[in-house]
Chains A and B, each alone.
Chain A
Amino acid sequence: MFLQPKSVEAALAMMAEPGARLLAGGTDFFPAQGEQVIEHPVIDISRLADLRGIATTPTHIRIGGAATWSEIVAQPLPRGFDALKAAAKEIGSIQIQNRGTIAGNLCNASPAADSVPPLMALEAEVELLSAAGTRRLPLGAFILGNRKTALLPGEMVSAILVPRNVAENASAFGKLGARRYLVISIVMIAVAMSLENGRVGQARIAIGACSAVAQRLAEAEAALVGCRKAEEIAGRLHAGHLAALAPIDDVRATAGYRRDAALILLRRVAAAAMLAAGN
């Protein structure tokens, strides 16, 4: 059964259908489907204008859940979003960026979802909508594990909210993969940073693909406070800051390689964020 609701309210009502699944850009949905026949009801929300668009509220930047990567890249946004845009430009390929959506990337809950570290570094919250109303969760409380989220039956991710004061920080993103596009990341880092009198005031660092859920690196963040020059950043960051990671061995990289690569990438991206913050 294929359902194409004309409004968000209609979509929420259709979600009462047993086994129903939401379809937005489909860029994870179809490859995961493989040869299996789609037997469950599918609710196509990719055309609901109310779920798209990017707006500025008095307190937040609000990105509609069904906004595509191409739409996010094309939108003028504060520089805190530079990291997210950099990630968006390397998600899949242009054809994928034209279809794939931000909420889809979060709901798919891959440990290697490229949008998660940039959004975590921006203290993003997820807006969850159901027939009963809305609730908000910090992104870190929304993604619970590999392919696991806090979505309840009947709920959809209607928007991603980023506090405007955090969005004013400079940001940078880096990822390592076997190639640049169409590849599952080995490690990615996003850093958002503010300067006070030329020194690092606050750094927010998130790392993905090195644990079941991307995470903030609080000790590394603390180690950067007061740093005066981008050249000093590498010396302040060491392997101990990555102790909380739990990288896996797989076909893409060994756990040891991931740890080594993560530290190098962390130093580079943090330095890039500091240079961006000084400009």
Chain B
Amino acid sequence: MPTVKMTVNGKPVSAEVEARTLLVHFLREHLDLTGTHVGCDTAQCGACTVHVGGKAVKSCNMLAVQADGAEVTTIEGLATGDTLHPMQEAFRDHHGLQCGFCTPGMVMSAIDLVKRKADLSEAEIRAGLEGNICRCTGYHNIVKAVQAGAAATRGR
């Protein structure tokens, strides 16, 4: 079996995995990082969004071996100790979730979005989050949370 080495949330990890292991299963089952969710398994819902090399990707759509040597960030890597990332804080403040299943992916996509363009209109946020599906909220509070999270990230 191939050995994969990567940096996940700042820590070097290494494991022997079957080559067919998807990145999301590697994160959840080998590293016990279960904050990244599997929703549709077909690259539609975005619940499995993580950052690879600083870019948002759907981790159900990539093999762990394809991320060999890469820097990977998951939802667990955002907070500093007990201090949440401003985007996480904004989702909490604005009630940008109900059941919470889509939330890790939403937050990871939102951070990628804000990183590429700091000053986002509501329309840009809605377009930028098209790859993340939420079945509860109607997106309204998610958009508010991203606007607030973007402002807080700028001010940081």
Contact = CB atoms under 8 A, between A and B. Distances in A.
Interface of A: 1-2, 4, 23, 26-27, 30-31, 34, 37-38, 42, 44, 46, 70, 92-96, 98-99, 179-182
Most chain B CB within 10 A, of A26, A27, A34, A38, is at A26
Contacts of A37: 20
A92 B20 contact: no
Contact of B57 (A2, A95, A180): A95
Contacts of B113: 94
Contacts of B43: 27, 30-31, 92, 95-96
Nearest to A34: B42
Given A2-B2, A95-B49, A95-B56, A182 B61 contact: no
B132 to A, nearest CB: 8
8 contacts: A1-B19, A2-B2, A26-B62, A27-B43, A30-B60, A46-B66, A95-B56, A182-B44
A182 to B, nearest CB: 6
Interface residues of B, number: 28
A46 B55 CA distance: 15
Nearest to B20: A38
Contacts of A44: 63, 65-66
Nearest to B130: A181
Q: What 5 A-B pairs come out closest when comparing CB atoms?
A: A93-B131, A2-B19, A181-B130, A31-B42, A98-B55
A42 B19 contact: yes
B68 interface: yes
A96 B20 contact: no
Contacts of B61: 26-27, 30-31, 95-96, 99
Most chain A CB within 10 A, of B63, B112, B132, is at B63
B20 to A, nearest CB: 5
Nearest to B116: A94
Given A30-B43, A98-B57, A99-B62, A180 B19 contact: no
Most chain A CB within 10 A, of B42, B46, B49, B61, is at B61
B133 to A, nearest CB: 8
B35 interface: no
A37 B18 CA distance: 12
Contacts of A98: 55-57
